[in-house]
Amino acid sequence: MQDSTTEKAISARALDRLLAAHDGDVALLYLYWLKSGSQDPEQAAAALCRTMREIGAAEEKLRRMELLPSFGAPAQPVSEKPYAPGGAREVLPPAEELPQYSAEDIARRSREDPGFSAVLAEAARVIGRNLSSSDTRTLFGVYDYLGIPAEVLVMLLTYCGEQFQERYGSSRRPSARAVEKLAYQWAREEIMTLEQADAYISAQKERRGELGRVKALLNIYGRELTATEEKYITSWLEMGFHEDAVAIAYDRTLTQTGALKWPYMNKILLSWHEKGLHTAGEIEEKDSRRPVKKPGPHEEPRPVDMDELRKIIDKI
State the first-to-last Cα distance of the chain, in angstroms, to the nearest integer. Answer: 104
236 and 185 fall within a common domain: no
Domain assignment of residue 297, yes or no: no
Domain assignment of residue 178, yes or no: yes
Domain count, the chain: 3
**Can you tell me the mean pLDDT for 99-114?**
83
Please report, for residues 176, 233, 249, the alpha-carbon distance to residue 213 in angstroms, rounded to integers and kept in the order given.
Answer: 31, 11, 15
Q: How far apart are CA 124 and CA 119, in angstroms?
A: 9
Q: Check residue 170 and report its DSSP letter.
A: T
pLDDT in tens, 267-295: 999 999 999 999 999 998 888 664 444 44
Q: Can you give the pLDDT at residue 93?
A: 54
Domain assignment of residue 75, yes or no: no
103 and 174 fall within a common domain: yes
Q: Check residue 91 and report its DSSP letter.
A: -
164 and 216 fall within a common domain: no
pLDDT in tens, 45-81: 788 888 877 777 777 777 766 675 444 444 444 444 5
- Other Cβ atoms less than 10 A from the Cβ of 18: the count is 21
> ∠ CA 201-203-207 to the nearest 5 degrees?
115
- pLDDT of residue 246 exceeding 60, the answer is yes
Domain assignment of residue 121, given as a range: 95-192
Domain assignment of residue 294, yes or no: no
HSE, side-chain direction, 13 A CA sphere, residue 114: 2
With a threshold of 0.85, does the pTM exceed it? no
Across 150-159, 165-174, 292-301, least confident range:
292-301
Q: Where does the pLDDT of residue 111 fall: very low under 50, low under 70, confident under 90, or very high at 90 and above?
A: confident
133 and 103 fall within a common domain: yes
Nearest of 255, 269, 240 to residue 85 by alpha carbon: 240
47 and 100 fall within a common domain: no
For the chain, the maximum distance between any two Cα atoms, rounded to a whole number of angstroms, is: 108
Domain assignment of residue 23, yes or no: yes
- pLDDT of residue 40 exceeding 80, the answer is no
**Can you tell me the mean pLDDT for 17-29?**
75
Domain assignment of residue 3, yes or no: no
